Amino acid sequence: MKSTVFSSLYQQGKVPHIVIIGGGFGGLTLLKKLANTNCKVTLIDKNNFHTFQPLLYQVATASLSADSIGYPFRRTVGAIKNLSFIMAEVRSINQEENCVVTSEGDLTYDFLVIATGSKTNFFGNNQLAKLAMQLKTISQALDIRTVFLQEFEKAVRLSEKHDSESVKKVLNFVIVGAGPTGVEVAGALAEIKKKILIKEYKEIDASLMQITLIDAGSCVLNVMSEKSSQRAEKYLQEMGVNILLNTLVTSYDGEKIVLKNGKELLTNTVIWSAGVMGNPILGLQPDVYLPNGRIKVNVFNVVEGTKNIAALGDIAQMQNNAYPHGHPMVAQPAIQQATNLARNILMGEKDKSPKKFTYKDKGSLATIGRNKAVADLGNISLGGWLAWYVWMLVHVMFLIGFRNKIAVLFNWAVKYFSYKNTIRLIVRPFVRGN
Ligand SMILES: Cc1cc2nc3c(=O)[nH]c(=O)nc-3n(C[C@H](O)[C@H](O)[C@H](O)COP(=O)(O)OP(=O)(O)OC[C@H]3O[C@@H](n4cnc5c(N)ncnc54)[C@H](O)[C@@H]3O)c2cc1C
């Protein structure tokens, strides 16, 4: 008789069928670790590619093309016999039948892993959810790119009519949320103002372009050290970004953003990066879903109250003394949890005890602009060009696929020497509300 949750998967020499929902950092790591082993693994994702989310903002701001940060799952699965991929959206879990209900039919599992990541949190404000831009997927990044390029073209026409009030409105880009994504988008837009608007949109008075970064907290990058936060704020100010701290947004009607302090800003473009929440799949016991959308798991990433369902990465909340609200919703916990879970599944065949998950914090990074980044590595805080090089190195290292690494390096080199974000194509017009 096998004795652990994981060893019971291999009862009587059975080859267990492991189903992974979501091929993000967590799901893809698990898939790779289980390649060429004694289990059958099926990855289900609603897209046919993995998205490298940390560089989404560079797609949104025309530094990188979409295909350099995506990687097709079938290239990973390839000819490996025990791996397969299904492109489908998972709609629910039927725990009694051990099956998942997907847009392409039902699929049974012996062990299920939920790795569906997170989604943007608008804190219940439906109007904002409808009208603000988000940055979680490649298609949303392309929408942001299109929007700012469309607004530039609009500004050219308005400038020719000498309508500077309207020019100001279309060129006012408001970013809500001064975490790494908000800071990176604000910095990139500030560089576009300086290097592209001034030089290539000669009809426009570039001084009318405003980039406003709003946060409810008292500092930017509040997930990083005080030193990095102060450095980032200084860089942003030097680049001309207006920073509004301790400021809550109450509404946005598509043209005017209203702040809790009574102030109003006229803008056609609000990019919302003020929060994320778990992106759960329904069908589990109600008490495992937390108000933040995450799913409660134990120290082995097994969903509480279940025997053959695990969750990992952004969707999983494993609480302990060091992380009473769960691990940070960044790539490393997802990768490390997937590595530990793969080990435990494989050790199950030998009936060995599973290993508890412990998180190794490898540090945090954020880039603000050319030669301007911040890095917290243990007790060391780096800034300026050194942090910028570390940021680039780490991102290229973790990017999936050799072609993508080369494409990203090439684009960065072109941008570095030409001072231009060159991928400025409006390939499909963006119409708000569609
Ligand atoms: C703009 C941005 C910048 C970021 N920058 C950084 C950074 O610099 N450093 C860092 O460490 N982290 C960063 N993060 C966070 C990091 O990307 C996430 O923490 C990480 O991706 C979480 O991995 P995951 O495997 O849990 O989920 P994800 O990587 O989000 O993957 C989830 C997968 O599940 C799929 N999926 C979801 N629902 C379904 C469904 N119902 N059916 C089928 N498939 C589904 C999705 O298509 C996706 O492929 C950033 C995130 C964003 C959005």
pLDDT tens across 389-429, in order? Answer: 999 999 999 998 889 999 999 999 998 888 888 899 999 89
Mean pLDDT computed over 202-224: 96
What residue type is assigned to position 213 of the chain?
L
- pLDDT top residue among 146 and 420: 146
Check whether residue 332 and residue 296 sit in a common domain: yes
What is the per-residue pLDDT for 431? 87
Distance 33 CA to ligand 1 centre (A): 19
Angstrom CA distances, 380 to 21, 261, 367, 396, stand at 37, 37, 16, 22
Of all atoms in ligand 1, which is nearest to the CA of residue 28?
25
Q: Is the pLDDT of residue 12 over 90?
A: no
The number of the ligand 1 atom at minimal distance from the alpha carbon of 331 is: 11
Ligand 1: nearest atom to the Cα of 91: 41
User: 304 with 174, same domain?
Assistant: no
Which whole number is the average pLDDT over 286-307?
97
Alpha-carbon distance 50 to 331, whole Å?
13
CATH number at residue 39: 3.50.50.60
Residue 422, pLDDT score:
81
CB-CB contact of 160 with 193 (8 Å): no
* End position of a domain, from candidates 274, 307, 332: 274
Provide the angle, in degrees to the nearest 10, between the axes of the packed helices 384-398 and 402-418. 150
Domain count, the chain: 2
Pick from 20, 21, 25 the residue to mutate for probing ligand 1's pocket: most ligand atoms within 8 Å of its CB.
Answer: 25
Q: Are residues 95 and 215 in the same domain?
A: no
Give the CA distances from residue 93 to residues 31, 110, 112, in Å, rounded to whole numbers and listed in that order.
20, 13, 9
Task: State the Cα angle at 325 between 29 and 117, rounded to 5°.
Answer: 35
CA of 252 to the centre of ligand 1 (A): 27
pLDDT at position 76, please?
93
Same domain, 307 and 232: no
* Cα 113 to middle of ligand 1, angstroms: 15
Of 324, 319, 327, 321, the residue nearest 296 (C-alpha): 319
Question: Would residue 395 count as lying in a domain?
Answer: no
Residue 4 has what pLDDT?
84
Give the count of beta carbons closer than 10 Å to the beta carbon of residue 226: 11
How far, in Å, is the centroid of ligand 1 from the Cα of 248? 26
Q: Which atom of ligand 1 sits closest to the CA of residue 366?
A: 8
Query: What are 219's two structure tokens?
Result: 């500092």
How far, in Å, is the centroid of ligand 1 from the Cα of 182?
16
Angstrom distances, CA of residue 239 to CA of 19, 51, 76:
47, 29, 41
**Alpha helices (H) in 37-137, listed in sequence order:** 56-60, 73-77, 126-131
Q: What separation in Å is there between the alpha carbon of 430 and the centre of ligand 1?
A: 24
Statement to judge: residues 269 and 150 lie in one domain: yes
Query: Are 262 and 163 in a shared domain?
Result: yes
Task: Please report whether residue 231 resides in a domain.
Answer: yes
State the DSSP code for 399. Answer: S
Instruction: Judge if 190 and 324 occupy the same domain.
Output: no
Name the residue with the closest Cα to ligand 1, atom 46.
Answer: 22
The model's pLDDT over 228-261, given as tens digits with 9 standing for 90+, comes to 999 999 999 999 999 999 999 999 999 999 999 9
Measured by CA distance, the residue closest to atom 44 of ligand 1 is 45
> CA 136, CA 133: separation in Å to the nearest integer?
10
User: Across residues 44-48, what is the average pLDDT?
Assistant: 98
Q: Assess if residue 148 is contained within a domain.
A: yes
Give CA–CA dist 69/331, Å, rounded. Answer: 15
Please tell me the predicted confidence (pLDDT) of residue 434: 65
- pLDDT score at 269: 97
Out of 32, 51, 116, 135, mutate this one to test ligand 1's pocket (max ligand atoms within 8 Å of CB): namely: 116
| pLDDT of 290 | 97
Annotation marks residue 184 as catalytic: yes
**Ligand 1 centroid from CA 129, angstroms:** 19
Kindly state whether residue 393 falls inside one of the protein's structural domains.
no
Q: How far apart, in whole angstroms, are the C-alpha atoms of residue 142 and residue 56?
A: 9
Q: Scan for tokens 């914090």, then name that residue.
A: 361
Which entry of 89, 97, 184, 304 is annotated as an active-site residue?
184
Same domain for 210 and 150: yes
Question: Does 297 map to a domain?
Answer: yes
Which contiguous run of DSSP H or E holds residue 191?
helix 180-192
Please state the atom number of ligand 1 nearest to the C-alpha of residue 25: 25
Neighbour-count burial for 188-207, b at 16+ CB within 10 Å, e otherwise: bbbbbbbbbbeeebeebeee
> Alpha-carbon torsion 139, 140, 144, 146, what sign?
positive
Q: Is residue 211 part of a domain?
A: yes
Confidence (pLDDT) at 169: 95
Residue 287 and residue 176 share a domain: no
Instruction: Assess contact for 52 and 71: CB atoms under 8 A.
Output: yes
**Which of 323, 348, 373 represents a domain boundary (last residue)?**
348
CA 359 from centre of chain: 20
* Among protein residues, the one whose CA lies closest to atom 17 of ligand 1: 53
Radius of gyration of the chain (CA): 23
Whether residue 247 sits in one domain with residue 138 = yes
Does 374 reside within a domain? no
Domain containing 298 equals: 7-46+88-120+276-348
Tell me the two tokens of residue 176: 């809500």
Q: 182 and 269, same structural domain?
A: yes
Query: Cβ distance 111 to 18 under 8 Å?
Result: yes
Q: Are residues 257 and 284 in the same domain?
A: no
Among the three residues 298, 319, 348, which one is the final residue of a domain in this structure? 348
What's 431's DSSP letter? -
CATH of the domain at 172: 3.50.50.100
291 within domain boundaries: yes
Q: How far apart are CA 59 and CA 195, in angstroms?
A: 17
Contact residues of ligand 1, CB 6 A cut-off: 21-27, 44-47, 53-54, 56-57, 89-90, 115-117, 135-136, 180-181, 279, 281, 313-315, 329-332, 334
The CA distance from 123 to 64, in Å, is 31
* SS3 at position 271: strand
The atom of ligand 1 lying closest to the CA of 22 is 34
Ligand 1 pocket test: which of 113, 145, 330 has the largest number of ligand atoms within 8 Å of its C-beta? 330
